[in-house]
């Protein structure tokens, strides 16, 4: 008995040592369920069985990888978001959301905390770049007609992502609690209360005051103060990021469910969405379990409806492309962050507005319109623009090969004409009030309600709508009408933003350049 | 025959199932209503909007002075005193005084000396605030109470 026991002890020790030696392998197998992928099939399996990678199909169409297919803009938006999450969490270590401490904690981060300034700069630049990249991504999707059935809903998700992205930037803007922040948010909050302009003009504010309600919900008070800071902080670090992550997850998942990125018909093979394709013989051989699984997925997916010849493996080709985009985005943030500091003005002072007091740049187009009428420019026109953009995929249902910019020659021509028209009209509507004044200068006693509705901003919007309808009628194509409308929208946005950024000086007066601003 | 008095019998299972769904839906709706109420403040946290500005002799007839830190212009005339709010009625910037009255730095509204709009996006004139005299004889302005333009307080 005793001998037996000894023998067992020896064996136990040997097993222990052997298991210890194999620990790296068993640990990795317990996590990944496969060894290091060496073959193409192994890599497909790796993509398929990882929670994070399986958002990708195991194989993608070669076209997806071409630079001009997407310019990597969607991935760039995601990359900036990841950079913002990481740097944002780091900033939270020191930032304190109180009106008394916020400004000083920003100063600490900027001047005292080790690498605080760089992290802050990267966070600020990442936010700007994310807004730009999301807008460009939206343009890419629009001009390649990638919003068309079956991708209408993903376009809507994209619109929601766009709004959340802007909301994140805007709520973040208040947090430093400096003059820039305080006055930008004061103006923003008062835009929220601008339905009062209308209810006042109608004399019903006492009974029905949606403007006041919106402002109080946003600020939790009558003015920008501690309650507003608490609410903006909550939105900025918790609620909006969570919403963005959820929306983005559905956005990515839908790309796969809608059959991968849209591409021209010629490059597409059989299989309608939602139909189970006939079982495709697995390209890797009969007993390849992963491929068979992919073949019964009830959707059009890159792996089931394409000749294997049109596709390449996600690992390494797609992942490599994504990594390159991510690294370029990080590099851009770092370079800008090293070269240019994020601004920090004097501490917020409710008695002295900045002159000129400007919103963040992506809202300067709106601010220009707000300088005609707060209600129309700040609420009605943006709402009309958003609803108009959201409806595009439902009103333009012409079957069209996705993935061709402007849908060909005719589209390019319409886009160019619309661009010229939209720029001219926008410039005219800025130039007329600058040179000749507006209704109130001509008819001093004019009722307010007329000023609210008849102003350069609303006339510009009407002009764009009319132009698109004319194109729609003349060409008989809803796609060309949509191109006209979207081009007008983009051009108007760019012109108005430029005017707000560069040509408006103190008292929102017109100046050809900053160097002409009066010194004060 | 099935009618109002004798409705079509509904299977027990279906009834219980429906009742369950409705209960769950009501519970969710009720909780949502409760949650939505929370962020809408019942009392706005604010410092008092009434403030004393000194004695009437500090403001001789014919003077116009900005009350320090209060964004109010006190106008003193033979008719009495008036307090004009310097918060722009467009989007809440603080207006500057100009030769002709007031000018707003934010979107270029300008106002006449009595606060009425001359140009720009402001939807209405600057607010005239209530002036009164407190028990100790000092002048008091209530920035929460508006009075019609042209109302002068006789000291
Ligand atoms: C936070 C913002 C966003 C992120 C992170 C994001 C991410 C992505 C990614 C990674 C793709 C894959 C293709 C590509 O890289 O271009 C994609 C495709 C797409 N996105 Fe977005 N996106 C965002 C906002 C938007 C917006 C604002 C729209 C439009 C309103 C939009 C509509 C679409 C559509 C329709 C597709 C499918 C395109 C196709 O099939 O070719 N997305 N998005
Ligand atoms: S806030 Fe005064 S003009 Fe806009």
For residue B84, the cross-strand partners are: B73, B128
CB pair distance less than 8 Å for B123 and A448: yes
Phi, psi (rounded to 5 degrees) for B129: -105, 155
Overall domain count for chain B: 1
CA atoms A226, A229, A234, A235: torsion sign: positive
List C-alpha distances in Å: A62 to A175, A313, A315, A380. Answer: 44, 9, 13, 43
H/E element, A56? none
Q: What angle do CA A156, A149, A420 make, to 5 degrees?
A: 70
CB contact (8 A) between residue B123 and residue A508: no
Among B121, B123, B126, residue to substitute to test ligand 2 (most atoms within 8 Å of Cβ): B121
Q: Is the CB of B118 under 6 A from ligand 2?
A: no
The DSSP H or E segment spanning A55 is none
Who contacts A90 (Cβ-Cβ below 8 Å, separation ≥6)? A119
Q: Does B127 touch chain A (CB under 8 A)?
A: no
Pick B121's closest partner by Cβ from A183, A189, A371.
Answer: A371
> Residue A343's closest CA among A16, A103, A34?
A103
CA distances from B3 to B6, B8, B9, B11, B16 (A): 5, 7, 11, 17, 22
Tokens of A67: 């630079």
The tokens of A358 are what?
A: 């400007």
Task: Please check whether residue A40 is in contact with residue A290, taking contact to mean a CB–CB distance below 8 angstroms.
Answer: no
Q: What is the DSSP letter of A365?
A: H
Number of cross-chain residue pairs from A and B with Cβ atoms under 8 Å apart: 96
Q: Which residues contact B50 (CB under 8 A, 6 or more apart)?
A: B140, B141, B142, B143, B144
Which of A197, A220, A371 has the CB atom closest to B108's CB atom? A371
Residues in chain A: 520
* B105: nearest CB among A194, A201, A506: A506
Question: Is the distance from the beta carbon of residue B122 to the nearest atom of ligand 2 less than 6 Å?
Answer: yes
What is the reported pLDDT for A165? 97
**A313: β partners:** A59
What distance in angstroms lies between residue A436's CA and the mean position of ligand 2's atoms? 20
d(CA A337, CA B102): 41
How far does the CA of residue B66 sit from the closest CA of chain A (Å)? 12
Buried b / exposed e across A322-333, counting CB within 10 Å, b at 16+?
beebbeebbebb
Domain ranges of chain A: 60-263+311-350, 355-520
Residues 82-121 of B with CB under 8 A from A: 90-94, 96, 103-108, 117-121
* ipTM of predicted complex: 0.79
Which H or E element spans position A26? Answer: helix A2-32
Global pTM reads 0.85
Instruction: Report the DSSP pairing between strands A59-61 and B50-54.
Output: unpaired
Residue range B10-17: mean pLDDT, rounded: 87
User: Peptide bond preceding A150: is omega within 30 degrees of 0, i.e. cis?
Assistant: yes
Tell me how close the Cα of A404 comes to any Cα of chain B, in angstroms.
43
Asked if the C-beta of B137 comes within 8 angstroms of chain A's C-beta atoms, the answer is: no
Query: Which pLDDT belongs to residue A57?
Result: 84
Q: Which of A507, A389, A442, A497 is nearest to A142 (CA)?
A: A389
Q: Is A63 in the pocket of ligand 1 (CB under 6 A)?
A: no
Determine if ligand 2 sits within 6 Å of the CB of residue B93.
yes
| CATH no., domain A60-263+311-350 | 1.20.810.10
Q: Is B119 in the pocket of ligand 2 (CB under 6 A)?
A: no
Q: Which helix (H) or strand (E) element contains residue A245?
A: helix A240-257
Q: Please give, rounded to a whole number of angstroms, the shortest distance from the CA of B39 to a CA of chain A.
A: 6
**Residues linked to residue B83 through DSSP beta bridges, in sequence order:** B74, B129
Query: Sign (positive/negative) of CA torsion B106, B111, B115, B118?
Result: negative
- How far is B69 from A67, CA to CA, in rounded Å? 58
What distance in Å separates the CA atoms of residue B84 and residue B153, rounded to the nearest whole number?
12
**Which region holds residue A274: left if phi is over 0, alpha if psi is between -120 and 50, else beta?**
left
Please tell me the predicted confidence (pLDDT) of residue A99.
Answer: 92
Q: How is residue A129 written in tokens?
A: 């770049």
**In a domain? residue B35:** no
- Kindly report the CATH number assigned to the domain that includes residue B54: 2.102.10.10
Confidence (pLDDT) at A296: 44
Q: Which residues of A touch B107 (CB under 8 A)?
A: 367, 370-371, 508
Nearest to A270 by CA among A297, A307, A296: A307
pLDDT tens digits for B72-87? 999 998 888 999 999 9
Beta-sheet pairing, B101-103 with B110-112: antiparallel
Contact present, B36 and B59 (Cβ < 8 Å): no
Residue A308's pLDDT is: 57
The closest CB to that of B121, out of A213, A355, A374, belongs to A374
The residue nearest atom 3 of ligand 2, judged by CA position, is B107
Q: Answer whether residue B154 is part of any domain.
A: no
pLDDT by 10s per residue, chain A, length 520: 455 556 677 888 999 999 999 999 999 889 888 878 888 888 888 888 888 888 888 888 888 888 888 999 999 999 999 999 999 999 999 999 999 999 999 999 999 999 999 999 999 999 999 999 999 999 999 999 999 988 999 999 999 999 999 999 999 999 999 998 998 888 888 888 888 888 887 888 778 888 888 888 889 888 899 999 999 999 999 999 999 999 999 999 999 888 888 877 544 444 444 434 444 444 444 444 444 444 444 444 444 444 556 788 888 889 999 999 999 999 999 999 999 999 898 898 888 887 777 888 888 888 888 888 888 888 899 999 999 999 999 999 988 778 888 888 889 999 999 999 999 999 998 888 888 878 777 887 788 788 888 888 999 999 999 999 999 999 999 999 999 999 999 999 999 999 988 888 877 888 887 777 776 5
User: What burial class does residue A213 get, using C-beta atoms within 10 Å of its C-beta: 0-12 exposed, 13-18 middle, 19+ buried?
Assistant: middle
Minimal C-alpha gap between A182 and chain B (Å): 11
Measured from the alpha carbon of residue A401, the closest ligand is 1
Q: Do A221 and B44 touch (CB under 8 A)?
A: yes
* Longest CA–CA separation in chain B, Å: 92
pLDDT at A509: 81
- A427 preceded by a cis bond (ω within 30 of 0): no
pLDDT in tens, B107-127: 888 899 999 988 888 888 999
Q: A110 and A117 in contact (C-beta within 8 Å)?
A: yes
- Relative to the alpha carbon of B93, which ligand is closest? 2
Position A153 scores a pLDDT of 96
| DSSP string covering A246-298 | HHHHHHHHHHHHTTSS---GGG--S--TTSPPPPPPPTT-TT-HHHHHHHT-S
The 3-state secondary structure of A129-196, one letter per residue: HHHHHHHHHHHHHHHCCCCCCCCHHHHHHHHHHHHHHHHHHHHHHHCCCEHHHHHHHHHHHHHHCCHH
Ligand 1 atom with the shortest distance to the CA of A263: 41
């Amino acid at each position: 008995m005793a001998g037996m026991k000894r023998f067992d002890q020896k064996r136990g020790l040997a097993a222990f040592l052997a298991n210890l030696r194999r620990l790296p392998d068993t640990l990795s197998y317990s996590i990944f369920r496969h060894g290091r992928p060496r073959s193409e099939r192994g890599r497909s399996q790796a993509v398929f069985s990882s929670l994070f990678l399986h958002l990708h199909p195991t194989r993608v169409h070669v076209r997806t990888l071409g630079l001009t297919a997407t310019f990597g803009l969607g991935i760039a938006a995601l990359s900036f978001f990841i950079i913002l999450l990481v740097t944002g969490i780091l900033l939270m270590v020191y930032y304190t959301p109180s009106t008394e401490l916020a400004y000083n904690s920003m100063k600490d981060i900027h001047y005292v905390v080790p690498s605080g300034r760089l992290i802050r700069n990267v966070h600020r630049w990442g936010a700007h770049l994310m807004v730009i990249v999301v807008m460009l991504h939206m343009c890419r999707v629009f001009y390649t007609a990638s919003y068309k059935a079956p991708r209408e809903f993903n376009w809507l998700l994209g619109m929601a992502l766009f709004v959340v992205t802007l909301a994140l930037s805007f709520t973040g803007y208040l947090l430093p609690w400096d003059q820039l922040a305080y006055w930008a948010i004061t103006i923003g909050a008062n835009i929220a209360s601008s339905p009062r302009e209308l209810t006042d003009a109608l004399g019903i504010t006492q009974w029905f005051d949606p403007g006041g309600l919106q402002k109080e919900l946003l600020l939790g008070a009558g003015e920008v103060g501690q309650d507003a800071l608490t609410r903006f902080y909550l939105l900025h670090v918790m609620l909006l990021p969570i919403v963005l992550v959820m929306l983005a997850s559905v956005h990515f998942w839908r790309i796969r469910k809608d059959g991968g990125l849209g591409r021209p018909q010629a490059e597409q093979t059989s299989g309608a969405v939602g139909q189970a394709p006939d079982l495709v013989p697995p390209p890797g051989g009969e007993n390849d379990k992963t491929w068979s699984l992919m073949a019964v997925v009830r959707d059009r997916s890159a792996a089931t409806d394409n000749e294997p010849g049109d596709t390449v493996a996600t690992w390494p080709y797609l992942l490599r492309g994504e990594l390159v985009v991510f690294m370029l985005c990080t590099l851009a943030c770092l370079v800008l962050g090293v070269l240019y500091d994020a601004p920090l003005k004097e501490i917020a002072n409710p008695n002295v507005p900045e002159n000129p007091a400007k919103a963040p740049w992506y809202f300067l187009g709106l601010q220009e319109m707000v300088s005609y009428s707060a209600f129309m420019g700040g609420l009605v026109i943006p709402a009309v623009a958003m609803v108009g953009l959201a409806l595009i995929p439902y009103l333009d249902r012409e079957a069209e090969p996705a993935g061709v910019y402007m849908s060909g020659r005719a589209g390019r021509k319409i886009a160019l004409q619309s661009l010229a028209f939209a720029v001219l009209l926008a410039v005219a509507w800025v130039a007329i009030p600058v040179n000749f004044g507006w209704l109130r200068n001509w008819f001093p006693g004019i009722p307010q309600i007329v000023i609210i509705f008849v102003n350069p901003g609303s006339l510009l919007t009407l002009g764009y709508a009319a132009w698109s309808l004319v194109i729609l009628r003349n060409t008989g194509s809803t796609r060309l009408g949509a191109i006209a409308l979207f081009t007008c929208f983009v051009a108007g946005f760019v012109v108005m933003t430029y005017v707000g950024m560069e040509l408006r000086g103190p008292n929102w007066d017109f100046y050809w350049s900053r160097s002409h601003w009066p010194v004060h | 025959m099935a009618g109002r008095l004798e409705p079509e019998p509904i299977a027990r299972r279906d009834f219980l199932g429906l009742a369950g769904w409705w209960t769950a839906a009501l519970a969710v709706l009720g909780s949502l209503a409760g949650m939505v109420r929370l962020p809408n403040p019942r009392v706005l946290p604010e410092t008092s909007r009434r403030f004393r500005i000194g004695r009437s002799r500090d403001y001789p007839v014919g003077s116009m002075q900005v009350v320090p830190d209060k964004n109010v212009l006190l106008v003193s005339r033979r008719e009495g005193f008036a307090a004009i709010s310097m918060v722009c009625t467009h989007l809440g910037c603080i207006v500057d005084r100009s030769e002709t009255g007031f000018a707003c730095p934010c979107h270029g509204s300008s106002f006449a000396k009595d606060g009425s709009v001359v140009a720009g996006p402001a939807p209405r004139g600057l607010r005239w605030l209530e002036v009164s005299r407190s028990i100790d004889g000092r002048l008091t302005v209530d920035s929460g109470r508006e009075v019609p333009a042209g109302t002068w307080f006789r000291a």
